[in-house]
Amino acid sequence: MFPIRTVPSGAASQCFTLIRSLTVGSVRAAKKAEQLESEASAAEEDVPVTFVDDDAESAEDREARLGAIRNKSRLLPQHRNMLHDTLPYEESQSWIHETVKYKRMMLGRYGLEGSRVDPRICFPTKKEVYEKAEYERVAFPFSLKQMMDANAAARKAKKAAVEAREVEIARKLEKLDQWTADLNARMEKKEAEARAAKERKDRLVEEVRRHFGFKVDPRDERFQEMLTQKEREDRKKVKEAKRKEKEEKMMEKLQKKTAELEADIEVPNEQRK
Protein backbone atom coordinates (compact mmCIF):
# COMPACT_ATOMS: atom_id res chain seq x y z
CA MET A 1 0.00 0.00 0.00
CA PHE A 2 1.11 3.53 -0.77
CA PRO A 3 1.49 5.88 2.10
CA ILE A 4 -1.28 8.50 2.47
CA ARG A 5 0.02 12.06 2.46
CA THR A 6 -1.96 14.50 4.47
CA VAL A 7 -2.55 18.12 3.29
CA PRO A 8 -2.75 20.98 5.75
CA SER A 9 -6.26 22.26 6.34
CA GLY A 10 -5.34 25.89 5.46
CA ALA A 11 -4.00 25.00 2.00
CA ALA A 12 -7.03 22.86 1.25
CA SER A 13 -9.39 25.66 2.07
CA GLN A 14 -7.46 28.06 -0.18
CA CYS A 15 -7.62 25.61 -3.11
CA PHE A 16 -11.32 25.12 -2.65
CA THR A 17 -11.94 28.91 -2.61
CA LEU A 18 -9.92 29.43 -5.82
CA ILE A 19 -11.77 26.65 -7.68
CA ARG A 20 -15.11 28.03 -6.59
CA SER A 21 -14.28 31.60 -7.72
CA LEU A 22 -13.14 30.37 -11.17
CA THR A 23 -16.36 28.39 -11.59
CA VAL A 24 -18.59 31.33 -10.64
CA GLY A 25 -16.67 33.68 -12.96
CA SER A 26 -17.02 31.37 -15.94
CA VAL A 27 -20.77 31.00 -15.31
CA ARG A 28 -21.28 34.80 -15.15
CA ALA A 29 -19.27 35.32 -18.35
CA ALA A 30 -21.41 32.77 -20.17
CA LYS A 31 -24.63 34.46 -19.02
CA LYS A 32 -23.32 37.91 -20.08
CA ALA A 33 -22.45 36.60 -23.55
CA GLU A 34 -25.90 35.07 -23.97
CA GLN A 35 -27.53 38.38 -22.92
CA LEU A 36 -25.47 40.40 -25.43
CA GLU A 37 -26.33 37.97 -28.25
CA SER A 38 -30.07 38.21 -27.46
CA GLU A 39 -29.96 42.05 -27.41
CA ALA A 40 -28.10 42.19 -30.72
CA SER A 41 -30.60 39.86 -32.39
CA ALA A 42 -33.53 41.91 -31.04
CA ALA A 43 -32.00 45.15 -32.35
CA GLU A 44 -31.52 43.61 -35.79
CA GLU A 45 -35.14 42.54 -35.83
CA ASP A 46 -36.39 46.07 -34.84
CA VAL A 47 -34.43 47.98 -37.54
CA PRO A 48 -36.55 48.20 -40.69
CA VAL A 49 -34.80 47.33 -43.86
CA THR A 50 -35.58 49.60 -46.80
CA PHE A 51 -34.88 48.52 -50.28
CA VAL A 52 -34.83 51.16 -52.99
CA ASP A 53 -35.43 50.20 -56.53
CA ASP A 54 -33.20 52.49 -58.58
CA ASP A 55 -35.02 51.63 -61.78
CA ALA A 56 -38.48 52.52 -60.39
CA GLU A 57 -37.30 55.79 -58.68
CA SER A 58 -37.24 58.90 -60.83
CA ALA A 59 -34.23 61.20 -61.02
CA GLU A 60 -36.02 64.06 -59.24
CA ASP A 61 -37.15 61.82 -56.39
CA ARG A 62 -33.69 60.33 -56.11
CA GLU A 63 -32.10 63.79 -56.02
CA ALA A 64 -34.60 64.96 -53.37
CA ARG A 65 -33.92 61.85 -51.27
CA LEU A 66 -30.17 62.27 -51.53
CA GLY A 67 -30.47 65.98 -50.78
CA ALA A 68 -32.44 65.24 -47.62
CA ILE A 69 -29.78 62.72 -46.59
CA ARG A 70 -26.94 65.18 -47.32
CA ASN A 71 -28.64 68.08 -45.42
CA LYS A 72 -26.96 67.86 -42.03
CA SER A 73 -27.29 71.58 -41.13
CA ARG A 74 -30.80 71.21 -39.64
CA LEU A 75 -31.68 74.61 -41.11
CA LEU A 76 -35.20 75.42 -42.19
CA PRO A 77 -35.75 75.31 -45.95
CA GLN A 78 -36.12 79.09 -46.25
CA HIS A 79 -32.96 79.68 -44.25
CA ARG A 80 -31.05 77.14 -46.28
CA ASN A 81 -32.22 78.83 -49.48
CA MET A 82 -31.02 82.18 -48.20
CA LEU A 83 -27.67 80.60 -47.34
CA HIS A 84 -27.36 79.38 -50.94
CA ASP A 85 -28.45 82.80 -52.29
CA THR A 86 -31.79 81.61 -53.65
CA LEU A 87 -35.38 82.75 -53.14
CA PRO A 88 -36.49 81.81 -49.60
CA TYR A 89 -40.03 80.75 -50.49
CA GLU A 90 -41.33 79.20 -53.64
CA GLU A 91 -44.83 80.52 -52.86
CA SER A 92 -46.14 83.36 -50.71
CA GLN A 93 -46.46 82.39 -47.07
CA SER A 94 -47.85 85.66 -45.73
CA TRP A 95 -49.51 88.87 -46.87
CA ILE A 96 -46.15 90.59 -46.47
CA HIS A 97 -44.79 88.55 -49.37
CA GLU A 98 -47.39 90.18 -51.64
CA THR A 99 -46.45 93.75 -50.77
CA VAL A 100 -44.64 95.97 -53.24
CA LYS A 101 -41.85 96.69 -50.80
CA TYR A 102 -41.08 92.99 -50.28
CA LYS A 103 -41.13 92.24 -54.00
CA ARG A 104 -38.82 95.15 -54.75
CA MET A 105 -36.46 93.89 -52.06
CA MET A 106 -36.43 90.38 -53.53
CA LEU A 107 -35.81 91.78 -57.01
CA GLY A 108 -32.91 93.86 -55.81
CA ARG A 109 -31.38 90.94 -53.88
CA TYR A 110 -31.86 87.97 -56.25
CA GLY A 111 -32.23 89.62 -59.66
CA LEU A 112 -34.76 89.06 -62.40
CA GLU A 113 -34.39 85.29 -62.73
CA GLY A 114 -33.85 84.53 -59.05
CA SER A 115 -36.72 86.62 -57.71
CA ARG A 116 -39.27 85.88 -60.47
CA VAL A 117 -40.70 89.38 -59.97
CA ASP A 118 -41.96 91.67 -62.73
CA PRO A 119 -39.44 94.56 -62.88
CA ARG A 120 -42.21 97.03 -63.73
CA ILE A 121 -43.19 96.94 -60.07
CA CYS A 122 -40.13 99.09 -59.31
CA PHE A 123 -41.53 102.05 -61.22
CA PRO A 124 -44.04 104.34 -59.43
CA THR A 125 -47.64 104.44 -60.49
CA LYS A 126 -49.47 107.57 -61.62
CA LYS A 127 -51.01 107.92 -58.17
CA GLU A 128 -47.63 107.65 -56.46
CA VAL A 129 -46.12 110.20 -58.83
CA TYR A 130 -48.97 112.63 -58.13
CA GLU A 131 -48.71 112.14 -54.35
CA LYS A 132 -44.94 112.63 -54.46
CA ALA A 133 -45.29 115.83 -56.49
CA GLU A 134 -47.99 117.12 -54.13
CA TYR A 135 -45.82 116.37 -51.12
CA GLU A 136 -42.83 118.18 -52.60
CA ARG A 137 -45.05 121.14 -53.50
CA VAL A 138 -46.26 121.46 -49.90
CA ALA A 139 -43.04 120.49 -48.13
CA PHE A 140 -40.72 122.52 -50.39
CA PRO A 141 -42.73 125.44 -51.78
CA PHE A 142 -39.68 127.47 -52.82
CA SER A 143 -37.49 126.94 -55.84
CA LEU A 144 -33.79 126.14 -55.60
CA LYS A 145 -32.84 129.74 -56.49
CA GLN A 146 -35.15 131.12 -53.82
CA MET A 147 -33.76 128.76 -51.18
CA MET A 148 -30.19 129.69 -52.15
CA ASP A 149 -31.00 133.41 -51.91
CA ALA A 150 -32.69 132.91 -48.54
CA ASN A 151 -29.73 130.89 -47.28
CA ALA A 152 -27.29 133.58 -48.43
CA ALA A 153 -29.38 136.29 -46.74
CA ALA A 154 -29.53 134.28 -43.53
CA ARG A 155 -25.73 133.79 -43.55
CA LYS A 156 -25.24 137.50 -44.22
CA ALA A 157 -27.58 138.47 -41.36
CA LYS A 158 -25.85 136.03 -39.02
CA LYS A 159 -22.44 137.43 -39.96
CA ALA A 160 -23.68 140.98 -39.41
CA ALA A 161 -25.08 140.03 -36.00
CA VAL A 162 -21.75 138.45 -35.02
CA GLU A 163 -19.83 141.54 -36.14
CA ALA A 164 -22.20 143.82 -34.25
CA ARG A 165 -21.81 141.67 -31.17
CA GLU A 166 -18.03 141.83 -31.45
CA VAL A 167 -18.14 145.63 -31.80
CA GLU A 168 -20.41 145.86 -28.75
CA ILE A 169 -18.06 143.66 -26.74
CA ALA A 170 -15.05 145.75 -27.78
CA ARG A 171 -16.86 148.95 -26.82
CA LYS A 172 -17.77 147.53 -23.43
CA LEU A 173 -14.22 146.31 -22.87
CA GLU A 174 -13.02 149.86 -23.42
CA LYS A 175 -15.34 151.00 -20.63
CA LEU A 176 -14.36 148.13 -18.34
CA ASP A 177 -11.79 150.16 -16.44
CA GLN A 178 -14.25 153.01 -15.92
CA TRP A 179 -16.96 150.61 -14.77
CA THR A 180 -14.54 148.97 -12.36
CA ALA A 181 -13.58 152.36 -10.94
CA ASP A 182 -17.26 153.34 -10.60
CA LEU A 183 -18.04 150.06 -8.86
CA ASN A 184 -15.18 150.52 -6.43
CA ALA A 185 -16.31 154.09 -5.80
CA ARG A 186 -19.89 152.96 -5.09
CA MET A 187 -18.64 150.27 -2.75
CA GLU A 188 -16.43 152.75 -0.93
CA LYS A 189 -19.34 155.16 -0.70
CA LYS A 190 -21.59 152.49 0.80
CA GLU A 191 -18.90 151.48 3.26
CA ALA A 192 -18.39 155.13 4.20
CA GLU A 193 -22.13 155.61 4.68
CA ALA A 194 -22.28 152.48 6.83
CA ARG A 195 -19.37 153.73 8.94
CA ALA A 196 -20.96 157.17 9.23
CA ALA A 197 -24.28 155.64 10.29
CA LYS A 198 -22.55 153.55 12.92
CA GLU A 199 -20.58 156.56 14.19
CA ARG A 200 -23.78 158.61 14.28
CA LYS A 201 -25.53 155.86 16.21
CA ASP A 202 -22.68 155.64 18.71
CA ARG A 203 -22.65 159.43 19.07
CA LEU A 204 -26.39 159.55 19.74
CA VAL A 205 -26.10 156.79 22.33
CA GLU A 206 -23.32 158.66 24.06
CA GLU A 207 -25.36 161.87 24.00
CA VAL A 208 -28.30 160.08 25.62
CA ARG A 209 -26.04 158.73 28.36
CA ARG A 210 -24.63 162.18 29.01
CA HIS A 211 -28.20 163.52 29.11
CA PHE A 212 -29.11 161.19 32.00
CA GLY A 213 -25.77 161.68 33.72
CA PHE A 214 -25.47 158.06 34.78
CA LYS A 215 -25.26 154.65 33.19
CA VAL A 216 -28.57 153.47 31.80
CA ASP A 217 -29.40 150.08 30.33
CA PRO A 218 -29.89 150.54 26.53
CA ARG A 219 -33.00 148.34 26.81
CA ASP A 220 -34.62 150.77 29.24
CA GLU A 221 -37.74 152.54 27.94
CA ARG A 222 -36.45 156.00 28.88
CA PHE A 223 -33.22 155.32 27.07
CA GLN A 224 -35.08 154.12 23.97
CA GLU A 225 -37.42 157.14 23.95
CA MET A 226 -34.54 159.59 24.28
CA LEU A 227 -32.57 157.76 21.60
CA THR A 228 -35.55 157.90 19.23
CA GLN A 229 -35.90 161.61 19.86
CA LYS A 230 -32.20 162.20 19.23
CA GLU A 231 -32.37 160.20 16.00
CA ARG A 232 -35.36 162.24 14.85
CA GLU A 233 -33.50 165.49 15.54
CA ASP A 234 -30.40 164.19 13.80
CA ARG A 235 -32.41 163.22 10.72
CA LYS A 236 -33.89 166.71 10.60
CA LYS A 237 -30.42 168.21 10.74
CA VAL A 238 -29.17 165.92 7.98
CA LYS A 239 -32.22 166.70 5.86
CA GLU A 240 -31.73 170.40 6.38
CA ALA A 241 -28.06 170.15 5.45
CA LYS A 242 -28.94 168.28 2.25
CA ARG A 243 -31.56 170.88 1.38
CA LYS A 244 -29.07 173.70 1.85
CA GLU A 245 -26.48 171.86 -0.23
CA LYS A 246 -29.04 171.36 -2.99
CA GLU A 247 -30.00 175.02 -2.92
CA GLU A 248 -26.37 176.04 -3.14
CA LYS A 249 -25.87 173.79 -6.15
CA MET A 250 -28.98 175.23 -7.81
CA MET A 251 -27.72 178.74 -7.18
CA GLU A 252 -24.35 177.87 -8.68
CA LYS A 253 -26.07 176.42 -11.78
CA LEU A 254 -28.28 179.51 -12.12
CA GLN A 255 -25.34 181.82 -11.76
CA LYS A 256 -23.35 179.85 -14.32
CA LYS A 257 -26.26 179.82 -16.76
CA THR A 258 -26.85 183.55 -16.25
CA ALA A 259 -23.19 184.25 -16.94
CA GLU A 260 -23.33 182.19 -20.15
CA LEU A 261 -26.47 184.04 -21.32
CA GLU A 262 -24.86 187.39 -20.61
CA ALA A 263 -21.78 186.33 -22.54
CA ASP A 264 -23.94 185.22 -25.49
CA ILE A 265 -25.74 188.60 -25.47
CA GLU A 266 -22.49 190.62 -25.33
CA VAL A 267 -20.95 188.80 -28.31
CA PRO A 268 -23.64 189.92 -30.85
CA ASN A 269 -23.47 193.51 -29.55
CA GLU A 270 -19.73 193.59 -30.15
CA GLN A 271 -20.23 192.19 -33.65
CA ARG A 272 -22.75 194.93 -34.45
CA LYS A 273 -20.32 197.60 -33.34
DSSP secondary structure string for all residues of 3-50: PPPP--HHHHHHHHHHHHHHHHHHHHHHHHHHHHHHHHHHHHHHS---
Average pLDDT over residues 122-149: 91
List Cα–Cα distances, 103 to 84, 100, 107, 109, 266, in angstroms: 19, 5, 6, 10, 104
Query: Does the structure show a pLDDT above 50 at 96?
Result: yes
Whole-number pLDDT of residue 207:
72
List Cα–Cα distances, 172 to 1, 68, 169, 177, in angstroms: 150, 87, 5, 10
Q: Comparing 163 with 25, which gets the higher pLDDT?
A: 163
Whole-number pLDDT of residue 22:
64
Cβ atoms of residues 175 and 183 within 8 Å: no
Q: What's the chain's average pLDDT?
A: 79
Average pLDDT over residues 135-150: 91
pLDDT tier at 37 (50, 70, 90 boundaries)?
confident
Query: pTM to 2 decimals?
Result: 0.33
Domain map of the chain by residue range? 73-139, 144-251
Q: Comparing 204 with 140, which gets the higher pLDDT?
A: 140
Could you tell me where the beta strands, DSSP code E, fall in 56-122?
none
Query: Does the structure show a pLDDT above 90 at 260?
Result: no
Residue 116 Rama label (left phi>0; alpha psi -120 to 50; beta): left
Query: Does the structure show a pLDDT above 50 at 98?
Result: yes
